[in-house]
Structure 1
Amino acid sequence: MNYKNFPMVSKVVFGRGSFNQLGDILEPKRLNTEAPFIFFVDDIFKGDAWLCSRIPLSYNDKIIYVSTVEEPKTSQIDALVEQIVLDFALKPSGIIGIGGGSTLDIAKAVSLMLTNDGESSKYQGWDLIKNPGIFHVGIPTISGTGAEVSRTTILTGPKLKLGINSDFTPFDQVVLDPELTKNVPKDQWFYTGMDCFVHCIESLNGTYLNAFSRTYGEKALELCEAIFLGDELTEEEAQDQLMMASWHGGMSIAYSQVGVAHALSYGLGFLLGIKHGIGNCIVFDHLEEFYPEGVKTFKAMKAKHRINLPQGICSQLSNEEFDTMITVALSLEPLWENAIGANWKSVITRDKLRALYQKM
């Protein structure tokens, strides 16, 4: 049997205020004064002096603010790579992503595409990247996606919503500063936290489960339940622990896989542009057949925090639109194999998926 030789983030710093060390972390990685560090920053922070004034710019380093109203597209990645190639004579010393999962995925994808030829859509899939990306750093400002630790960068392409899954994708350095998550709106905090919760449920109930992924998944689940169902944590403790839950949840799926909720959520994201966290929540709410205990816990969390999910988002879709979503969902074969087993194609039919989508 061949076991996965899994790449991890090689360096990570954790702690409140650790963002202030970014300059010291980056400087040894500077190739020369003409090779800039490019900072991709979620444009929600534009004008936020508390965060942006602490970004350590030197020489011709550059901040590029990126919109995360929509999730990252392959066309957006290609345009950013072209912009960097045209604006700078030398390849950058590094790419730094500061933001949520979308911003981190943009940073990972641009890092890879600066060293791999062609359009990013041709690398959507598993292990298609041939060359290591340039040095890249992830700094999450919201917790739950696991993007800071994962080997994928999720992109919506012309035909599919599918990650660039590669051993070269994980960050070389991650800075985990829970203080950066202090102003996250409540709904977004919940949706992104539930992304982590769903990672745990899908990993722990999957056929790919092993002691490695179980250890991380069980710890992440324990943290999620304390954060979203408990009352004992201070705000700072909750921030610290959700950042750790995100890390552990990401590690759990890295050595196993996600499942039904993610596969169906990708379909919603591709067709309707529904963002990943809320998409997972909308889907997971209807998956008692697959994850009965997990859905029961999710509904308790949703009630405790008075979260009202959108209803009827698929009620007006045409047959063609349902087919598009179903095709995207079915393309994620490793997710279905993890969720159902090797015989998943005899269980998961197009009609079954349509019936699930019609509930949403």
Structure 2
Amino acid sequence: MKYKNFPMVPRVVFGRGSFSQLNEILMPKRKNSEAPFIFLVDDVFENNKKITSQIPTLFNDQIIFIPTEEEPKTDQVDVLVEKIRNESNEIPSGIIGIGGGTVMDLAKAVAIMLTSTGKTEDYQGWDLVKNEALYHVGIPTISGTGAEVSRTTVLTGPDKKLGINSDFTPFDQVLLDPELTNGVPKDQWFYTGMDCYIHCVESLNGTYLNAFSQSYGEKAGELCHEVFYDGNLSEEESQDKLMMASWHGGMSIAYSQVGVAHAMSYGLSYLLGTRHGIGNCIVFDHLEEFYPEGVAMFKKMKARFGIELPTGLCANLTDEEFDTMINVSMGMEPLWENACGKNWKDTITPEKLRSLYEKM
């Protein structure tokens, strides 16, 4: 049997206020004054001087504000890569992503494509990247996606929603500063936190489960339980624990895989543009058949924070639209195999998926 030789993030800083150390982290990685650092920053911070004033720009460094209303797309990566190539005299010193999962994924993808040829869509899949990526740093400003630690960058392409899964995808450096999560709206905080919780449930109940993924998944699940169910945490404790839950949840699926909720939410996202976190929640709410205990706890967490999920998303879809969604979802073979075993196609049929989508 061949085991995964999994690449982990080699350097990580954790601590409240650690964002102020970014300059000293980047300085040794600066090639020269003509090789800029490119900062991809969630545009929610465009007028936030507290954040932008701490971004250590020098020489020809650029800050590019990224709109995050939609999920990241392969052609968005291509546009960014072309812009960076056209505006820099030299290959950049590195790419720094500051934001949520969308910005993390874009930063990883841009770092890969700056040293690769062709279009981003050519690399959607497993182990298609052949060249080492540019130095890249992830700085999450919301907790839950696990994008800061994973070997994938989830992108919607012209034909499919699928990550660039490769050994060159993980960040070279991650900076975890829980203070950066101040002011996240409650519903977004919940949906993204539940992305982490769902990672744990799917990993811990999957056929790919092993002691490595189990140890991280159990810890992440425990931390999510403390934040979203037990209560009695201060805001600081909640921020710190959820940031670590996100890290552990990402590590759990790194050595196993996610499952039904993620596979089906990719279909929603591809067809309807549903954001990843809320899409996972909408799907997971109907998956008692697959994850009875996990869904029961999810419903309690949802009630505790008064979260109302959208309904009727699929009410007016045509047969063709259902087929598109189902095809995207069924294309996520490793996720289905993890959830249901090697013979997953015996039980996961287009009719089965349609009946589930119709509930949403």
Length-normalised TM-score, structure 1? 1.00
Q: Does 1:222 align with 2:225?
A: no
Equivalences for residues 334-345 of structure 1 within 5 A: 334-345=334-345
- Structure 1 SS opposite 2:38: strand
Residue 131 of structure 1: aligned partner: 131
Q: Does 1:357 align with 2:357?
A: yes
- Tell me by how many angstroms 1:345 deviates: 0.9
Amino acid at match of 1:51: I
Distance 1:47 1:142 in 2: 18
Per-residue CA shift, 1:9-41, capped at 9, x if unaligned? 000000000000000000000011100000000
Amino acid at match of 1:80: L
Q: Give the superposed CA RMSD.
A: 0.4
Residue 82 of structure 1: aligned partner: 82
- Tell me by how many angstroms 1:89 deviates: 1.4
Specify every segment of 5 or more residues in structure 2 that has no aligned partner in the other structure, as ranges.
Answer: none
Per-residue CA shift, 1:169-194, capped at 9, x if unaligned? 00000000000001100000000000
Q: Does 1:30 align with 2:30?
A: yes
Per-residue CA shift, 1:175-230, capped at 9, x if unaligned? 00000001100000000000000000000000000000000000000000010001
Specify every segment of 5 or more residues in structure 1 that has no aligned partner in the other structure, as ranges.
Answer: none
Residue 92 of structure 1: aligned partner: 92
Residue 193 of structure 1: aligned partner: 193
- Tell me by how many angstroms 1:347 deviates: 1.0
Distance 1:233 1:308 in 2: 23
Amino acid at match of 1:151: R
- Tell me by how many angstroms 1:231 deviates: 1.9
Residue 71 of structure 2: aligned partner: 71
Amino acid at match of 2:134: I
Residue 264 of structure 2: aligned partner: 264
Distance 1:166 1:231 in 2: 38
Distance 2:84 2:226 in 1: 43
- Structure 1 SS opposite 2:194: helix
Residue 232 of structure 1: aligned partner: 232
Distance 1:307 1:350 in 2: 30
Pairs aligned (count): 360
- Structure 2 SS opposite 1:252: helix
Amino acid at match of 1:134: L
Residue 274 of structure 2: aligned partner: 274
- Structure 2 SS opposite 1:183: coil
Runs of 4+ in 1 over 6 A off after TM superposition: none
Amino acid at match of 2:260: V
Residue 289 of structure 1: aligned partner: 289
Per-residue CA shift, 1:242-262, capped at 9, x if unaligned? 000000000000000000000
Residue 104 of structure 1: aligned partner: 104
Residue 173 of structure 1: aligned partner: 173
Distance 2:280 2:132 in 1: 31
Length-normalised TM-score, structure 2? 1.00
Amino acid at match of 1:92: P
Distance 2:270 2:19 in 1: 34
Identical columns (%)? 70
Residue 153 of structure 2: aligned partner: 153
